[in-house]
Amino acid sequence: MRSYGQYCSIARALDVVGDRWTLLIVRELLLQGPCRFTDLKKGLPGIATNLLSSRLRELEEAGLITREDAPPPVATALYTLSEDGLALEPVLKSLGLWGLRFMTDERPDDAFQGRWLAYAPVWFTTDADPDGPPVVIQVVAADETAVIELRDGRIHTRLGHATDPDLVLDGPPRAVLGLLTGVIDRELAGRLGLSVHGRRDLLTRLQPVTQD
């Protein structure tokens, strides 16, 4: 990216991560941890391979990622976020929190991945009753499944299925994620096709975080 040529930390940050795709590559590395080329490509539907390889080179030159040859079982290059790269997490959080306001716009062709189902509750919600009993929520959206666990005031998520969840949410991504992140209410979620089974009272445990 051409430099903005301004002695301002925002402009200098954008000199490094302002290129198209760059912040989404960092998102993938934050969500998945160290990745191979193909892992990144899968997580970034639509990116051209030449762009991905050139962005990875630029990120390495800027010191945001390191490229290592993985040990024998894998035998391929692994891209890992450096300390400077990991430090972008608050930037992606605030950007994603701001972007929630656009998640209700209907764009049926948008790609959707289970990982995005998993990180949203962790980054954008808090447990309203941190001292309350543990809760296990199963979420299903667009053939992707994830488990949200509330325990000790922390929110954990993982892909896959839960055994005996307290609450099950199933529906299109807009309905499930919209309700979880608080951008739509339960009534609208229902009209968008959300089905809820189990202890729906537990939904109040998840509260949208407020910025700063």
* Residues contributing to the site for DNA (CB under 7 A): 1-2, 19-21, 36-39, 46-51, 53-54, 56, 74, 76-77
Under the binding rule (CB under 8 A), the answer on residue 16 touching a copy of itself is yes
> In angstroms, what CA-CA distances link 159 with 12, 173, 174?
36, 15, 18
Under the binding rule (CB under 8 A), the answer on residue 133 touching a copy of itself is no
Residues 70-79: contacts with CB under 8 Å, at least 24 apart: 70/36, 74/36, 76/36, 76/37, 77/36, 77/37, 78/34, 78/35, 78/36, 79/29, 79/34, 79/35, 79/36, 79/37, 79/40
Site string for a copy of itself, 44-63 (x = CB under 8 A): -xx-----------------
In the complex, least distance from residue 148 CB atom to DNA, rounded to whole angstroms: 29
Residues within the interface to a copy of itself (CB under 8 A): 1, 3-16, 18, 20, 23-24, 27, 45-46, 84, 87-88, 90-103, 105, 107, 109-113, 116, 120, 124, 173-174, 177, 181, 211-212
